[in-house]
């Protein structure tokens, strides 16, 4: 279900000093936007209301984080929920298809949390673990390609395992029940809702 716009939607976005308004201008020099410029940069694609990326930035000050969200109304809600600016966190309001024009071999890890499963076969190339997107990620990763995915959708998870494997990724960790592992985990809003309902969370850590 699509969230309704906040009354001050545009104001929140336009006045946010940690949302990068013209991200393509920083291609190849994103590290300059952070106080600790030599720290690795991690990117969450589809950050939703921002709980995960904000808590990760607070928990890991030695990593720089960027949260990307396509929808203005979702981004506005995320900004509203973030109580303070963090020196290692920036936000981008754009479509994931644009990331190759925004980053040039600068990202160390990509997080895909509860992405749209696009269940219809004709929409498969829209899935964030499709070959279409895996090819795009090749242009943004700095050294090794690391993708961490969480989803409640077992069909998307199975698709991701196959797609990543065929593209040359190896799996460091895979589980169909993240809550019953000792894998360190910062939850998203969706994840907490699903876990309270008894839904198991699928998780993978893939590297290439």
| Active site positions, annotated | 116
Residues 6+ apart with CB under 8 A from 33: 20, 26, 90
Question: How far, in Å, CA of 4 to CA of 74, rounded?
Answer: 9
Residues 6+ apart with CB under 8 A from 15: none
Nearest of 156, 135, 115, 134 to residue 206 by alpha carbon: 134
Nearest of 149, 20, 18, 144 to residue 88 by alpha carbon: 18
Distances in Å between the Cα of 142 and the Cα atoms of 97, 127, 154 are: 18, 22, 30
Distances in Å between the Cα of 118 and the Cα atoms of 41, 115, 126, 153 are: 28, 9, 7, 11
Greatest alpha-carbon span in the chain: 46
At residue 42, what are phi and psi to the nearest 5 degrees? -110, 140
Q: Give SS3 for 65.
A: strand
């Amino acid at each position: 279900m699509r969230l309704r716009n906040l009354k001050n939607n545009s104001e929140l976005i336009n006045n946010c000093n940690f949302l990068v308004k013209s991200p393509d201008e920083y291609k190849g020099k994103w590290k300059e936007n952070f106080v600790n410029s030599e720290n690795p940069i991690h990117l969450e694609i589809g950050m939703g209301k921002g709980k995960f990326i904000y808590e990760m930035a607070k928990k890991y000050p030695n990593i720089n984080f960027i949260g990307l969200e396509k929808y203005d109304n979702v981004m506005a809600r995320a900004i509203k929920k973030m109580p303070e600016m963090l020196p290692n966190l920036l936000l981008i309001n754009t479509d994931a298809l644009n990331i190759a024009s925004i980053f040039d071999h600068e990202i160390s890890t990509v997080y895909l949390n509860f992405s749209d499963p696009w269940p219809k076969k004709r929409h498969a190339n829209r899935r964030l673990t499709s070959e279409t997107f895996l090819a795009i990620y090749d242009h943004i990763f700095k050294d090794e390609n690391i993708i961490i995915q969480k989803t409640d959708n077992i069909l998307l998870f199975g698709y991701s395992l196959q797609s990543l494997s065929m593209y040359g990724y190896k799996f460091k960790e895979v589980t169909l029940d993240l809550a019953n592992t000792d894998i360190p985990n910062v939850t998203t809003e969706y994840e907490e809702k699903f876990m309270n309902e008894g839904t198991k969370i699928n998780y993978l850590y893939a590297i290439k």
